[in-house]
Amino acid sequence: GYTLAISLGLTSIFKSFLDTQYTFRLSKLKLKLRSSIMSVIYRKCLRVSTANRSGFSEGEIQTFMSVDADRIVNLCNSLHDMWSLPLQIG
């Protein structure tokens, strides 16, 4: 009885530690990924001629940069959930 209770408590503490590490590392990855994507899009915008860029205002281009980067970064959570949920259910 006591052994089971202690092991459940230790397991809960260990899970909490791992969840915190996962969240921290995923946040770092998302930050690096978002900044990389935004810099690549920004460099591309600087290389595009003004004739090709005339269809969009500078504000629209910045919005595209931000929204596209956020969508790709949010995909990280979805991909992780897609492979890990079957393991958690099983």
Question: Would you report the helix, strand and coil content of the chain in percent, each value rounded to 5?
Answer: 90, 0, 10
**pTM for the model:** 0.70
Q: Please report the sign of the dihedral spanned by the C-alpha atoms of residue 61, residue 26, residue 24, residue 43.
A: negative
Per-residue pLDDT of the chain (90 residues; tens, 9 = 90+): 899 999 999 999 999 999 999 899 989 989 999 999 889 888 888 888 777 777 778 788 788 888 888 888 888 778 878 888 888 887
Residue 52: what pLDDT? 74
* Letter string b/e over residues 17-26, b meaning 16 or more CB atoms within 10 A of that residue's CB: eeeeeeeeee
Q: How many residues does the chain have?
A: 90
Q: How far apart are CA 3 and CA 14, in angstroms?
A: 16
Residue 85: what pLDDT? 85
Residue 57: what pLDDT? 80
- Domain map (residue ranges) of the chain: 2-89
